[in-house]
Structure formats: structure tokens, C-alpha cells
Homo-oligomer: A and B are copies of this chain.
């Protein structure tokens, strides 16, 4: 795999993998109509790309591929641990198309233009937000502990035990609170990973409904528990696990769809996405969707973890690090409405066709709210054009968890030169986005949902 990953450019050669096969497609890339997009797979697997571009996964193309085969991945090498003295010495391999904002812990997002290629984001291209080293969990010995207020008894469940409960699948977007931080930080610097606008993805998640499990364990609707605390199996140097909690109302709502998920897009969760079990809390900020779930505690109190108490909270633009009191602000749960332009990219040269340019992107709202309208402007808001919602499922408000993809052909008034493209979304509670980051700036750089504005040049 190391050899493969070193061959990721036209100069050094373009190698990709498919299954265990390694293929040198250097000469092929120049001829292929989507050459630029193939280059994103360079040095890694083509499989997630074929999920995006379904047309490729055909016998004749697989046969053609074989002509380029130059060898096989060494399976043993692929899982051999690295430097065991480094807490990050045993991280999984990641797809080279992901763009890391930090290596240790590993945090990365895909190129935004890939997000609009598919309603479902392939697991290998889904943004990764880790707070600690990725734990290695053995599915055979894995146990989930459950305890707390209102349960008949404490319990330990194996993966097999969990799979005995009715299987439930939901399509839900998961977004990092810091998505689009790189835009907010231009107003005034903030603390946090410098995310672009691809720290979001949309997947199908399959697992056990948390409310089914809790009811089975004797929890009543009138429980005095107010919060469900989650603990991950990922720990820091002092052995403290990652933790978060969600309100009991969300956990116990049968239509809240909170899952203990063991599959993502029909496959077992990968290590980066929480193998073997993670919490999926649709409509709620990624930080509460705890991965490598080791423990659930029902309580009158929120999780006392750093991430629940002293991070992932919003503040007024007037609050700085000298005056901030984290106790004054509630932990982020439901996220506000957001949208972004994925193509064209900032600074791109865009061809005008019939007086119009093509624009594509995503939009999403937390809390089960559906996107009802996307407005796009090419003249800084003087006129607004309504985009087409190209991909949206039929789930109803307030249980609409998936994102929406949209596209628009927008008339441009200039013949050539610089211009801005703006987008804003409206959700099913008719909430919309703030115009810019200035008045929603906050010291942690979270909740960045202002209009997405990009500069492009047209010709």
C-alpha cells in the first residue's frame, strides 16, 4: 500500500487499487474523459469512486482494468501496526482523496466537488472527525455496557446481542459543528480545525433503535432520566474516554431514529467511522454521534466530558477567551440550516453557456427539518434564482434527516471577469441562513451557517 500511495501523480505514475489488485493507469488517465476526477483516486482505491459513478462497475470495464494490473496488495502488510510507542501508531489507512486538517488525531474531508456526485457519500470518502487515536476493537469480544436511572438492571451486550434486536435503517447526514470554519476565521481568527465545507456527508445507517433497546431494558416514558450519556472506547493518555450526551426526549422518541449503528451504507462500519458500533443521532451535531461506543449511562445530568461541557457550544460575537463562561451556553444538539456550493470551486474559471453558469451544492438542516428552497444569486443578492432540488428523499418533517443536493443554471449579467456566487437555503420551519459570518462569529468557530459566497471568474 505504501508503494501504491507513492504513485499518485502523473509524474510518478498513477496507481490505484481495486479489491486486492494494483493497477498502473498512468497512460489511461490522459485518455479518460473524467481524467481530473480519476486523479483523486490516485494512490488509493477506485472503489468509492465507482460508487459515485455507477456507470463504471461493469464487466467490460473490469476486464479492461485487468490489462493495467501490475500486482496485488499484501494483505498482511495492510494491517501491520506501525510504531506502537506512538498512540497514533495503529491508525487505519485512509483514502488519499481525503484532505487532512490534522493527522493526529486524524481529521479529514473529501474534495467538495465529490459531495455533489452522489446522494449517498461512500464510506471511504466520508469526512473523518476523530478526537483521539482510533481504538482497535475486536468484534468477537466487544461489549456495550448500559446502566443508569430507570433501568431494571445494568447490562453488557455483545455485538451478537445487539443484532438480535429489530434492524432499522435511516438515511441521515452527519455534520461537524466546525464545518465551514475556514470561512468564519476570515472575520477574526477562531480556535479549531480549519475545515472547508465538506465536513458533512450523507449515509444510510443500520442498527438497533436506542428507544427499542431502552424500552426492552425497562425504561418508562416518565423516566426521571434527562440525558443519555455515551462513552467511546477511544481514550486519551489519562485513559479518559471521549464522551457526549443527548436529551432523553430525542433518545426516547420512536421517530427520533437514534441508532446504535453497526452498518454504514450496507457495510460494517470502518474503523474510522466507529467500528463496530457508533451512536447515530439524526439531526444532531456530529460530536454527539459517538463512535466506538463502549458505554451508555442514563442520568439526570449531561455527560461531564470536556466535549460536552467546555467545547461544542455557541457564543455571542462579543464573547472572547478572556470572558467566556462555558456554563452560560447550552451544548449544541440540533444544528441550524446550512447550504454550500460544491461546483464551481472558489476561484475557478467558469464557462458561460447560453448566458448561464452551472452551480451545484448541498443543503441540510438539523432537527429533522427538510430543505424546501434554495436561492442562488450571481449579483450579490440583487436578484435571487430558485435552484432545483435534484436529490431529496421523501421523509417528512420533522423526521427528514438526509441532506438535499441541488443544482441551478444561473443567468450572469457580466460577459467575463470576476463575480460572486451566493447560496442560501430555507428549511421546513422556514428558518433561513444569516447573510455573513460577521454577526455569528464565535470563539470556537462553530455553527458556521452564513450564506456560502464564492468568487469565480467567468468567460
Contacts and interface: CB of A to CB of B under 8 A. Distances in A.
Interface of A: 247, 249, 255, 314, 316-319, 329-330, 332-337, 366-367, 369, 372-373, 375, 381, 383-386, 396-399, 424, 426, 428-436, 438-440, 447
A438 B422 CA distance: 14
Looking at A317, A399, A429, A447, the one whose CB has the most chain B CB atoms below 10 A away is: A429
A383 B317 CA distance: 8
Given A249-B255, A367-B367, A398-B249, A330 B384 contact: no
Q: Is the interface of A mostly helix, strand, loop or mixed?
A: loop
Given A318-B386, A384-B318, A330 B432 contact: no
A385 B323 CA distance: 12
Given A399-B249, A424-B439, A316 B430 contact: no
Given A318-B385, A398-B367, A447 B430 contact: yes
A424 B440 CA distance: 10
Given A249-B396, A318-B385, A386-B318, A432 B438 contact: no
Contacts of A424: 439
Tell me the number of copies of this protein.
2
Nearest to A381: B439
Given A255-B249, A317-B384, A435-B435, A330 B375 contact: no
A224 B20 CA distance: 49
A14 to B, nearest CB: 43
B430 A314 contact: yes
Given A372-B329, A373-B329, A381-B438, A429 B336 contact: yes
Given A316-B386, A317-B383, A317-B384, 14 more contacts: A247-B397, A314-B373, A316-B373, A316-B384, A318-B383, A332-B430, A334-B429, A337-B431, A366-B429, A384-B439, A431-B431, A432-B440, A435-B435, A435-B436
Contact of A428 (B334, B369, B398, B433): B334
Contacts of A332: 430
Contact of A435 (B317, B385, B399, B434): B434
Contacts of A438: 381
Contacts of A426: 314
Given A318-B383, A372-B329, A372-B330, A336 B430 contact: yes
Contacts of A429: 333-336, 366-367
Contacts of A318: 375, 383-386
Contacts of A383: 317-318
A434 B372 CA distance: 17
Contacts of A435: 434-436, 439
A316 B385 CA distance: 8
Nearest to A386: B316
A309 to B, nearest CB: 16
A255 B253 CA distance: 10
A336 B334 CA distance: 14
A317 B367 contact: no
A130 to B, nearest CB: 23
A318 B428 CA distance: 19
Contact of A433 (B319, B386, B434, B447): B434
Given A329-B372, A372-B329, A373-B316, A336 B249 contact: no
Contacts of A319: 386
Nearest to A447: B430
17 contacts: A247-B396, A249-B398, A316-B373, A316-B384, A317-B384, A329-B372, A332-B430, A333-B397, A335-B429, A337-B431, A366-B429, A381-B439, A384-B439, A430-B447, A434-B434, A434-B435, A435-B435
